[in-house]
Structure 1
Amino acid sequence: MNINLGSHTMRPIRAACLGTATALVALLACAPVAAAAATDTGSTRAEGGHRVITLTGRLAEQTRFPVNPGGAPAQGDRTVFRSILFDKDGKQVGETGGTCTTTRVDNGGAEECVVTYNLPDGQLSVQGMVFGNLNPGPPPSFDNGITGGTGKYDRARGSVHADTIGTGTRRFTIDLD
Structure 2
Amino acid sequence: MRPIRAACLGTATTLVTLLACASGAQAATHTDAVHAKGGHHVITLIGHLVQQSRFPVSTRGPAQGDRTVFRSLLFDRNDKIQVGETDGTCTTTTVENGGAEECVVTYTLQGGQISVQGMVFGILTDGSPTIPPPSFDNAITGGTGEFREARGQVHADTIGTGKRRFTIDLHR
Partner in structure 2 of residue 141 of structure 1: 135
60, 63, 69: which one aligns with 2:50: 60
SS in 2 for 1:40: helix
Among the aligned pairs, what percent are the same residue? 66
- Correspondence 1:75 to 2:64: yes
Distance 2:84 2:120 in 1: 23
Calculate the aligned-residue CA RMSD, in Å. 2.2
- Correspondence 1:162 to 2:164: no
Distance 2:27 2:62 in 1: 37
- The CA deviation at 1:172 is 0.3
Partner in structure 2 of residue 101 of structure 1: 91
- Consecutive unaligned residues of structure 1, counting only runs of 5 or more, are 9-18
Q: Give the helix-richer structure, 1 or 2.
A: 1
- The CA deviation at 1:77 is 0.2
- Correspondence 1:112 to 2:102: yes
- The CA deviation at 1:43 is 4.7
Cα deviation digits, residues 15-73 of structure 1 (max 9, x gap): xxxx323xx121xx2359x84797322458xxx9410010000001001100013x221
Q: Tell me if the contact between 2:156 and 2:167 (Cα under 8 Å) persists in the aligned partners.
A: yes
- Consecutive unaligned residues of structure 2, counting only runs of 5 or more, are none
**TM superposition outliers: structure 1 runs of 4+ over 6 Å:** none
Which AA in structure 2 matches 1:72? G
Cα deviation digits, residues 108-166 of structure 1 (max 9, x gap): 00000000111110001000000000034410000000000000000210100000000
- Correspondence 1:30 to 2:32: no
SS in 1 for 2:63: coil
Number of aligned residues:
157
Q: Tell me if the contact between 1:112 and 1:127 (Cα under 8 Å) persists in the aligned partners.
A: yes
Partner in structure 1 of residue 121 of structure 2: 131
- The CA deviation at 1:84 is 0.1
SS in 1 for 2:58: coil
SS in 1 for 2:5: coil
SS in 2 for 1:158: strand
**TM-score scaled by structure 2?**
0.83
**TM-score scaled by structure 1?**
0.81
Q: Tell me if the contact between 2:56 and 2:67 (Cα under 8 Å) persists in the aligned partners.
A: yes
Distance 2:26 2:152 in 1: 16
